[in-house]
Amino acid sequence: MKIEGKTIIVTGGASGLGAATAEYLYGLGAQVAMFDRDTEQGTALAARLGADRAMFRQVDVTSDEQVSEAIAAVIDRFGALHVAINCAGVVSPMKVVDREGAPASLDAFRRTVEINLVGTFNVMSKCAARMLENPPEDGEERGVVVNISSGAAYEGQIGQTAYASSKAGVIGLNLPAARELGPKGIRINAIAPGLFGTPMVMSLGDEVVASLEESVEAPKRVGRMEEFAHACAFLIENSYMNGATLRLDAATRLRAR
């Protein structure tokens, strides 16, 4: 699918990889709508990009009502919806049993899965329903969805029980969704990123970042946010990519600790 002139929703779009992706795709000529709970950063990014092709909506991805209303607002503003990129997520360090021998908080586990997995499904499902209204581009494509998993889905580390479970679930969505929606003109893919130089990671300081980079295989550095955004663009543009999870991690495999 061509990017220029298309309307793209990016959840988690106010900061980090989501914001970088929204800005990158805007630069390629797309209309972008950022969904996030962070109103201050989201509004500022939309204003910086320009009101002609950018907008922000405060959205909780686990809310039926908020997601439906926000998607409707995007289509009302830009006329259609073509791409959804699901970057919204939370990291929740959690062991099955803590140091004191107490079981993990079920509420904390449930909330992580609710945002990372259920929220991703919620946005994907509602966006796909509206993409079906589009005329097919080149007789094939009505829409594209890119869901964000993690390397932790494959090699979850100790303390990542909730996060790894939720991100493995995102990978599990891929193939059945692609098989269902592909014949109708909607492709579904995922990215499982490794360590990226987001503002949060880089704020840890040079010494901590250097230590983290030691676990990266090659190239031995954190990923650049534009490299993640470029991968999203590739999955949008390559019409033969469907039902795949792209590991974007410099051949890194996480150790237990």
pLDDT along the chain (257 residues), means of 10: 98 96 98 97 97 97 98 98 96 91 95 97 98 95 97 91 96 97 98 88 81 88 95 98 97 84
Q: Where are the domains of the chain?
A: 7-248
Q: Among candidates 104, 82, 79, which has minimal Cα distance to 93? A: 104
Burial class from Cβ neighbours inside 10 Å (0-12, 13-18, 19+) for residue 159 reads middle
| pLDDT (0 to 100) of residue 211 | 81
- Quick one: pLDDT at residue 84? 98
Give the pLDDT confidence score for residue 212 in this predicted structure: 81
Amino acid, res. 12? G
Instruction: Return the SS3 of 117.
Output: helix
Residue 35 DSSP SS3: strand
Catalytic residue at 24? no
**Distances in whole angstroms, Cα of residue 116 to Cα of each of 15, 56, 87, 122:** 16, 20, 9, 10
pLDDT score for 201: 79
Tokens of 88: 């919204």
Question: Cis ω on the peptide bond leading into residue 135 (within 30° of 0)?
Answer: no
User: Per the residue annotation, which of 24, 26, 163, 240 is the catalytic one?
Assistant: 163
Question: Looking at domain 7-248, what is its CATH homologous superfamily?
Answer: NAD(P)-binding Rossmann-like Domain (3.40.50.720)
Residues 6 or more apart from 97 whose CB is under 8 A from it? 103, 104
For the record, the structure tokens of 109 come out as: 């586990």
Q: What is the pLDDT of residue 104?
A: 94
pLDDT computed for residue 157 by the predictor: 87
Q: What pLDDT was estimated at residue 92?
A: 86
Q: 183 CB contacts (<8 Å, ≥6 apart)? A: none
Q: What is the pTM of this model?
A: 0.95
Q: What Å distances lie between residue 20 and 26, 135, 176, 217, CA to CA?
A: 10, 29, 29, 24
- Residues 124 and 118: their CA atoms lie apart, in Å, by 10
